[in-house]
Amino acid sequence: MTENGSTNGSDSGSPLTKEEVDAIHETWALVWSDKKNNGIEFFVKFFTHFPEAQDKFKDFKGLSIEEVRAHKKLRAHALSVFYAIKSYIDHLDDLETLTELIRKNARNHVDRKVGGKEVKWLVPPFVELLEEKTNGKVTELHKTAWTKVFDVIASISDEEIEKAK
Amino acid sequence: MTENGSTNGSDSGSPLTKEEVDAIHETWALVWSDKKNNGIEFFVKFFTHFPEAQDKFKDFKGLSIEEVRAHKKLRAHALSVFYAIKSYIDHLDDLETLTELIRKNARNHVDRKVGGKEVKWLVPPFVELLEEKTNGKVTELHKTAWTKVFDVIASISDEEIEKAK
CA distance linking residue A9 with residue A5, whole number of Å = 9
pLDDT at residue B110 in the model: 87
What band does B81 get if pLDDT is binned at 50, 70 and 90?
Answer: very high
H helices of chain B, in order, are: 18-32, 35-49, 51-54, 65-70, 74-89, 95-109, 116-120, 123-133, 140-164
Nearest-CB residue to A83 (from B76, B87, B108)? B87
Are the C-beta atoms of residues B108 and A108 closer than 8 Å to each other?
A: yes
pLDDT digits (tens, 9 = 90+) for B19-57: 999 999 999 999 999 999 999 999 999 999 999 999 989
Q: How far is CA B93 from the centre of its chain?
A: 17
Query: CA-nearest residue of chain A to B107?
Result: A108
pLDDT at residue A12 in the model: 59
How far B140 CA sits from the closest chain A CA (Å)? 30
B87/A79 Cβ within 8 A:
yes
CA distance linking residue B15 with residue B56, whole number of Å = 30
A76/B101 Cβ within 8 A:
yes
A18 touching B (Cβ < 8 Å): no
The dihedral region occupied by A64, where left means phi > 0, alpha psi between -120 and 50, and beta the remainder, is beta
How far B74 CA sits from the closest chain A CA (Å)? 9
Query: Which site among B35, B101, B103, B163 would you substitute to test the A interface, given the most A Cβ atoms closer than 10 Å to its Cβ?
Result: B101
B37 touching A (Cβ < 8 Å): no
Show pLDDT as tens, one digit a residue, over chain A (165 residues).
433 333 444 455 788 999 999 999 999 999 999 999 999 999 999 999 999 999 989 999 999 999 999 998 999 999 999 999 999 999 999 999 999 999 999 998 888 888 999 999 999 999 999 999 999 999 999 999 999 999 999 999 999 999 998
Checking if the pLDDT of B105 tops 70, the result is yes
What band does B112 get if pLDDT is binned at 50, 70 and 90?
Answer: confident
B105/A87 Cβ within 8 A:
no
Find the radius of gyration of the CA atoms of chain A: 16
A104/B97 Cβ within 8 A:
no
Domains, chain B, in order of start with CATH, read 18-164 (1.10.490.10)
Query: Which site among A32, A72, A81, A97 would you substitute to test the B interface, given the most B Cβ atoms closer than 10 Å to its Cβ?
Result: A97
A104 touching B (Cβ < 8 Å): yes
A76 touching B (Cβ < 8 Å): yes
B97 touching A (Cβ < 8 Å): yes
Instruction: Using alpha carbons, select from B72, B67, B62 the residue that is nearest to residue B36.
Output: B72
